[in-house]
Amino acid sequence: MAESNESHTSEELAKAMKTNPVVVRRTMAGLRVQGFVSSEKGHGGGWQLSCDLNKITLLDIYKAVDSPEFFAMTNRNENSVCQIETAVNMVTRQVFTEAKELLLKKFKSVSLANLQGSTKRKTSKTKQ
């Protein structure tokens, strides 16, 4: 989207990302609320980027899409009477918390412009 001044439909974006247009619309709605994208309805309508990529971080995007869980693993029994399971739960909870904090710290330091630059460099290398 950053490479074009044109609007892109949910269907076009979904095809490019190999997902369902409903997933794109749901995700873009959160980004629109934050002012990162805008949308126009009707013929010729679609989604457009509406802010500077240098001002948006991965953390901003993460928050805009409702801060989904990073890890699917959870404790099976939070109120276990088994001492070993309780100890394992405590350690894994702590490890996941620390890992999430590290990820969020890194997310805060990466702008979408950084990602765009990385993509351009990678694309130019594959064309050579």
- The residues spanned by each domain of the chain are 1-51, 53-128
3-class SS of residue 52: coil
Residue 23 CA to residue 10 CA, distance in Å, equals: 9
- At residue 125 the predicted structure's pLDDT band, cuts being 50, 70 and 90, is low
Mean pLDDT of 16-28: 95
* CATH number for the domain running over 1-51: 1.10.10.10
77 versus 100: the higher-pLDDT residue is: 100
Of the chain, the percentage scoring pLDDT greater than 70 comes to: 91
Mean pLDDT of 84-109: 93
- At residue 19 the predicted structure's pLDDT band, cuts being 50, 70 and 90, is very high
Q: What is the pTM of this model?
A: 0.76
Half-sphere CA count of 96, side-chain side, radius 13 A? 13
- Of 60, 44, 58, 51, the residue nearest 12 (C-alpha): 44
